[in-house]
Chain A
């Protein structure tokens, strides 16, 4: 079983729609959780950290369910600029290594 699993997609979604991604992780001792976005041939960029209480940043909402070991990302009112690969990332505490999911490819269609 992969340490971090995501549906690779692709998700082709019309502009303005709402889209949700899920991710599961296998290590119950994981302490830190993130969503990164990666554009083609670029480095990943942190989108948001994910907390047990859930957190929202504009059109983006992330949630963590520790009991079920899954993380979600919701994008509302999607924009063309949201087209990217979204990486679910799980880490330990402090300076422990990050484990990346394979990513979910999202394309927003005009």
Chain B
């Protein structure tokens, strides 16, 4: 089956620093990838849609200058949390949209803790 990886799986960083999270589709191409955030006991909330070779589309309330998304190839999208604050601590999950089946495959998630 289709596999999506995320790296790192967990990260602890200090307030004010930036953190980059990678999302890779390992055995298929994905022109579209999605970034979600999930706070404890809440559902996944879509942050942005990442399209290969073009600018990401951000959901209302998500700051594009704070959450930088780059989708430079058909198998890799990155999310950079800039100037992280404790309230950015969350579970960040990406998904990749299979270009032929249109099924979304989810990565294992990255748990970010900002101290």
Which listed residue, B32, B102, B106, touches A44 by the CB 8 Å rule? Answer: B106
Nearest chain-B residue to A88 (Cβ)? B43
Number of B residues with CB within 8 Å of any CB on chain A: 22
Please tell me if the beta carbons of B102 and A100 are within 8 angstroms of each other in the complex: no
In the complex, whether B111 has a CB less than 8 A from a CB of chain A is yes
CB distance from B71 to the nearest CB of A (A): 13
- 1/0 per position for B41-57, CB-CB distance to A under 8 A? 01111100100000000
In the complex, whether B91 has a CB less than 8 A from a CB of chain A is yes
Please tell me if the beta carbons of B108 and A43 are within 8 angstroms of each other in the complex: yes
Which listed residue, B46, B93, B97, B108, touches A99 by the CB 8 Å rule? Answer: B46
Please tell me if the beta carbons of A100 and B111 are within 8 angstroms of each other in the complex: no
Instruction: Determine the chain B residues whose CB is within 8 A of the CB of A101 once the complex forms.
Output: 43
Please tell me if the beta carbons of B108 and A42 are within 8 angstroms of each other in the complex: yes
Which listed residue, A94, A95, A97, A102, touches B46 by the CB 8 Å rule? Answer: A97
Instruction: Determine the chain A residues whose CB is within 8 A of the CB of B42 once the complex forms.
Output: 102
Chain A positions near chain B (C-beta within 8 angstroms):
41-46, 87, 94-95, 97-103
Given contacts A87-B43, A100-B43, 13 further A-B contacts (CB under 8 A): A41-B109, A41-B111, A42-B108, A42-B109, A43-B108, A44-B106, A94-B102, A95-B102, A97-B46, A98-B34, A98-B95, A100-B36, A102-B43
